[in-house]
Chain A
Amino acid sequence: NAGVTQTPKFQVLKTGQSMTLQCAQDMNHEYMSWYRQDPGMGLRLIHYSVGAGITDQGEVPNGYNVSRSTTEDFPLRLLSAAPSQTSVYFCASSRSGTAPSGNTIYFGEGSWLTVV
C-alpha cells in the first residue's frame, strides 16, 4: 500500500518563485491536510480539506494555496516563495471529518523545501 505520497522530497527555490508540492493518497480518505514542521515550533496546520471541492485554512495559511479537485489529490502551492517558508512540509490524511475523533491521521514522507 502506498498510503500518502508526496513529491518532491527535496527542493530548492529562489525567493519569488512559485511551486507546487504534490500529495496523493490511495486510502479513499475524505480528510486531507498540510502541516509544516519547524525547529522549536513543532508541526503547524497550513490548510485542510474535508472532501473534494472543500478546503479551509489552518493556523498558518498565508502564502499558500490549496485545491481539492479529487478525493485522492491535495496539492499545496507556494505563490511567491519567501525564506520564511523554508521548512519541512507534511501531507496527511484520515477518514472522514474534522469533528474530533479517534481516526488515525497518516502522514507522507515529507518535502524538504529551502528558499534562498
Chain B
Amino acid sequence: AQSVAQPEDQVNVAEGNPLTVKCTYSVSGNPYLFWYVQYPNRGLQFLLKYITGDNLVKGSYGFEAEFNKSQTSFHLKKPSALVSDSALYFCAVRDKGSNTGKLIFGQGTTLQVKP
C-alpha cells in the first residue's frame, strides 16, 4: 500500500536557524510528491512539488525540498526560519493505486519557530 510518513509531530527551531521537516514515502514506481502548509483556520497552500528532474526543488516562501530516491525521502528545508513560518506542514503523494486522483497525506508536522 502506498503511504507517506512524517515522523515528527512537532519541530521546534529558533528564528534564523535552518529548519528541516521530514517526510518519507512508500510508492511503487516514480512518485509525484508535494508539500503543503496550513495556517490556523486556513486552507492548505501549495509550497512545492517533485515530478521529475533535479532532486532539489525550490518553492514558495524560500522553502525547498530534496528528493532522495534511495532513502525514499522528500524532506522540506529552509535555510533561515521565520516566526511567520510557524504552521502545520503536510507531505503528500499522488495516489498511483487508484483512479481517484487523490493525494495521500502524511499526518502533518507542526513547525514552531521561536523568536
Contacts and interface: CB of A to CB of B under 8 A. Distances in A.
A102 B43 contact: no
A94 interface: yes
Interface stretch (A14-22, A42-50, A67-75): A42-50
B101 A33 contact: yes
Given A42-B108, A100-B96, A107 B102 contact: no
B43 A108 contact: yes
Interface residues of A, number: 29
A107 B36 contact: yes
B46 A106 contact: yes
Contacts of B46: 104-107
Interface in B7-35: 32, 34
Contacts of B52: 102
Given A100-B32, A101-B32, A109-B43, A45 B100 contact: yes
Contacts, number: 64
A99 interface: yes
Contact of B99 (A42, A43, A90, A99): A99
Contacts of B94: 100-102
Interface in A4-50: 4, 6, 31, 33, 40, 42-43, 45, 48, 50
Interface in A78-111: 90, 94, 97-102, 104-110
Q: Which 6 A-B pairs have the closest CB atoms?
A: A102-B51, A98-B101, A109-B43, A107-B44, A45-B102, A100-B96
13 contacts: A33-B101, A33-B102, A42-B106, A94-B101, A98-B100, A99-B101, A100-B101, A102-B51, A102-B52, A102-B94, A107-B45, A109-B43, A110-B43
Given A31-B101, A42-B107, A104-B34, 9 more contacts: A33-B100, A40-B107, A42-B108, A48-B102, A100-B96, A102-B49, A104-B46, A104-B49, A110-B41
Interface of A: 4, 6, 31, 33, 40, 42-43, 45, 48, 50, 56, 58-59, 90, 94, 97-102, 104-110, 112
